[in-house]
Each structure stands twice: as structure tokens, then as C-alpha cells.
Amino acid sequence: MTPSQADARPTILVTNDDGIRSKGLHAVVEALAPLARIAVIAPDRNRSGVSRSITLGAMLQVVEDEVAGADVAFATDGTPADCVRLAMLELAGPKPVLVVSGANNGLNVGDDVAYSGTVSAAFDAAMNGLPAIAVSQQSLARELGYPRTQEFDHSAMQAFLPGLVQHMLDSIGSLPHGLVVNVNVPGIPPSELTGVEVGTLGRRIYRDKLQLKEEADGKRHYLLYGDDPEHHADEVDTDIAAIGRGAIAVTPLRFEVLDHDSRAELESWNLGAMINAARG
């Protein structure tokens, strides 16, 4: 392939929150390399659970790196959202037309999407006008919570993802604005997949505890998160239920914080009297 042909290829940004050394990220790059120019910008360490945090008031460190199959790769001490911003500012060359975040070590289903750095990178792409995919891989132990094991088989994800990405590349001009496709892959071989299901977000039941683990010199150290979350077992059309049935769960997401339904309610409040009282 000549340089001019390479330059003509659309650019896909691959990022994540588990860090540039994550096998999930490398599996995504390997699967997508034949489809486009692949630019990797990823955290230099694990940044799970940082949601949409960004780095303010400090310089970002960026180091050129190597990821097999990627045309260019950078590691940064920033967050997943920072990685998307760096790509939009053309750190890695031409702006991407699509962002793929993952593959995350462990599921991002239900309420997890509010905390996930993986999903939040995709949200940041959508905020910048780009379609995005967030992809997460369940462990071989079929854990529904944060994986305590680190054994993953990415073969089912690698078999499915290129088709989805190619479809989105082919439809890039007609995709819904701000589309984020959240993909969760069960921890089973491709031959055991029962299908692909498009559904809604399930509801997690978090079982957080306030556990005092250590106290010394006036400082207390607490453990808040530990027990695996549960879910509403009676919900049948959710991403959690799909994973339980051995299907790849695909959920369309949109980052929209305005509550349109409650706007009329707030407008009916006597806010004028409140501001008059505040003015004295």
C-alpha cells in the first residue's frame, strides 16, 4: 500500500480505560486493522471507573508507543476522555471518523455506564460529533461484576466487531447524531453464542458497604466497594438478561443530560418570587 493510499483510509481511534497494555485493546486493534487507519491513544495505566473526568490545571504527558496493527500509538497519563480530546486535536494525525473504546476487562451493563471510563470515552466522542462504540468483554468465569479473574477470550468479540464497525463506516453520513453503541460480549466461545440482542439497560443493585479497615493518626481508611452487584432477574429485554442468555448485548446510548420532561414542571414554580427574595 502506497503512502497516498494509506492516507486515504478513514481513521478509527481506539482507546480504553484499562491502559495501553491491555489485551482487550490489542485484540480490538488486531480485529479492525484491515478496515481503516488505526490510531491508538490510551491511558498509560488503568483508569477504570473515572467516568468522564478530564485533566485540568496540569500538563498531559504523552509518549509515542507501539501497538501491533496500529498505524500510530500514544500513551498518556490522562483519562479516557483526554484521549479522545487529543485525537480531535489531531495528535495522531487526521481526525477520526469513528471511535472504538475497549475492549474493557469486564462488562459495562446497566448502571455501570454512568461510571465506566470505557463508555465515557465513547460519550466524549459523541459530544464531539463522532459516532462511537464501547465494547466490553466478560471474563471466562462469566462474572457480572468487576472481574476478579483476568482470564478473557476475545475471539467472539473479534469475530463480531469488524462487521459492526464496517456497517457504521459505510453509513457514516446517515447515522443518528451522537450515537453510542454499547456492546457487551459474554465470556464464551463464538460457537456457543446464542445470537445478538438489541435491548435496554438493566438495573444494577449495588451492595456497597462502609467498612472501616484501618484507623491511625486521626486518619480513617474505608472500603466502600467490594461485593458484586445484583440485578433485577425479572427483566427480560435488558443487556444483563441478554448476557445471561449467552447473547452479545447491543444497546444504543445517547449522552443527553437535559430532562425535557421536567422542564415544564420547573417553569411552573414561582422562581420570580425566589429571586426577588434573594435580592432583598
Q: What is the pLDDT of residues 32-68, one digit of tens each?
A: 999 999 999 999 998 887 878 888 888 999 999 999 9
**pLDDT band for position 102 (cuts 50, 70, 90):** very high
CA 114 from centroid of its chain's CA atoms:
10
Is the whole-model pTM more than 0.85?
yes
Average pLDDT over the chain reads 90
If we measure between CA atoms, which residue out of 257, 259, 251 comes closest to residue 119? 251
Cβ neighbours of 241 (radius 10 Å): 21
**pLDDT band for position 279 (cuts 50, 70, 90):** confident
Question: What is the per-residue pLDDT for 232?
Answer: 61
Question: What is the per-residue pLDDT for 227?
Answer: 61
Return the amino acid letter for 211.
Q
- DSSP tag of 114: G
Residue 107 has pLDDT above 80, yes or no: yes
Residue 101 has pLDDT above 60, yes or no: yes
**Mean per-residue pLDDT, 224-250:** 81
Lowest mean pLDDT among 72-86, 242-256, 257-271: 257-271
Alpha-carbon Rg of the chain, whole angstroms?
21
Bigger pLDDT: 228 vs 21 = 21
- DSSP tag of 47: -
Q: Kind and range of the H or E element at 231?
A: strand 230-231
**pLDDT band for position 4 (cuts 50, 70, 90):** very low
Domains of the chain plus CATH, in order, are 3-203+234-279 (3.40.1210.10)
Distance separating alpha carbons of residues 20 and 80, to the nearest angstrom:
11
Are 68 and 74 within 8 A, CB to CB? no
Cα dist. 46→22, 50, 77, 78, 183 in Å? 9, 10, 10, 10, 20
Question: What is the per-residue pLDDT for 259?
Answer: 86
Percent of the chain topping pLDDT 70: 92
Question: What is the per-residue pLDDT for 48?
Answer: 85
Residue 151 has pLDDT above 80, yes or no: yes
Cell of 115: 461510571
Lowest mean pLDDT among 6-10, 154-158, 200-204, 243-247: 6-10
Cα dist. 245→54, 142, 149 in Å? 36, 11, 21
Residue 1 has pLDDT above 50, yes or no: no
Distance separating alpha carbons of residues 240 and 110, to the nearest angstrom:
7
Cα dist. 53→80, 105, 114, 117, 257 in Å? 8, 19, 12, 8, 16
CB-based contacts of 246, cutoff 8 Å, min separation 6: 186, 188, 192, 193, 194
CA 161 from centroid of its chain's CA atoms:
14
Return the amino acid letter for 242.
A
